[in-house]
A and B are shown apart, each in its own frame.
Chain A
Amino acid sequence: MVDEGFDLPACLGRVRERDQVAARELVEHLYPLVIRIVRSHLPRRVAEEDLAQEIFLKMFTRLDQYKGAVAFSHWVSRIAVTTCIDQLRAQKRRPEYRWADLSEKEAEVLDQVLTSEGDVAANDALAARELVYKLLGQLKVEDRLVIRLLDLEQRSVAEISELTGWNPSLVKVRAFRARGKLKKLFQELERKERS
């Protein structure tokens, strides 16, 4: 996302003086970062452009609160993540999945994971991702976010803590609770497959 030639401090200065051109340049500069966060936390792609717009408007509204203590991109990321959490909270949790609800490919991937020790084939990556999203959809929003950041984005507990504002202990507790729930989901799916 980083445009090396972009003069961020100068742009922020102009935005604070209500320069619309500078505001447009700032949105264009940050768009890849924001849309990546929106997409990774909103798999159902519910009006991702609307959500991105909401994030940018919040950013402009709170711009006076930015004191430069952290990198600007980090500050914006935090606004994006918390806005996604709010959006996800408003969504209803998905219904419980049964083996029959999975696509043929997803069922195949799950079967492979449950019954063999080998890695999933690279050409099944898309099905694996869809399956992971379906399983995560069964979790609480906060637990889902932690697992997504930890396991899919491979972020550290410290990074997640900074992004979400939750203390590291809470992040660990949520990860532990989410793994417990995922384990139960795995067991239920396995049991349903056998029956």
Chain B
Amino acid sequence: MKDFESQWQRLVAAARQAPVADEAAAPYGFATRVAARAMSEPPPGAAALFGRFSVRALYLACLLTLTGAAANYFVLAGTEDNEQNLIDPVSEVFTNAS
């Protein structure tokens, strides 16, 4: 690794000497275009707030759905038995008549 390290360091030392194109100013119209686009978008705070609340609302909705389903499960599970236990007035009338 030592040989490589020396070779690499000599190579990058040479590479660092290469001139770098240094533009001090933005191209014509660039800053105006970017600023216009950035300022035309809705305030990020409101968007972020909306997003955050949307996610929270989703979690809450899921939780309520699950809680509701769990609470009603026992009611629904017992529905069949309840139906069997219901008094059938028509058959009662027939039974009484006979």
A residues whose Cβ falls under 8 Å from a Cβ of B: 1, 18-21, 23-28, 31-32, 35-36, 39-40, 49, 52-53, 56-57, 60-64, 109-110, 113-114, 117, 119-122, 124-126, 128-129, 131-132, 151-152, 154, 179-180, 182-183, 186-187
Contacts and interface: CB of A to CB of B under 8 A. Distances in A.
Nearest to B27: A49
B13 interface: yes
Contacts of A152: 12, 15-16
Nearest to A115: B7
A179 B8 contact: yes
Interface of B: 1, 4-27, 30-39, 41, 43-45, 48
B18 A129 contact: yes
A109 B32 CA distance: 44
A109 to B, nearest CB: 7
Contacts, number: 128
Q: Helix, strand, loop or mixed for chain A's interface?
A: helix
A18 B39 contact: yes
B1 A57 contact: no
Contact of B32 (A24, A60, A61, A122): A24
B44 A120 contact: no
12 contacts: A20-B39, A23-B38, A25-B31, A26-B35, A32-B22, A39-B21, A109-B11, A132-B11, A179-B1, A179-B4, A182-B8, A183-B8
Contact of B13 (A40, A57, A119): A119
A28 B12 contact: no
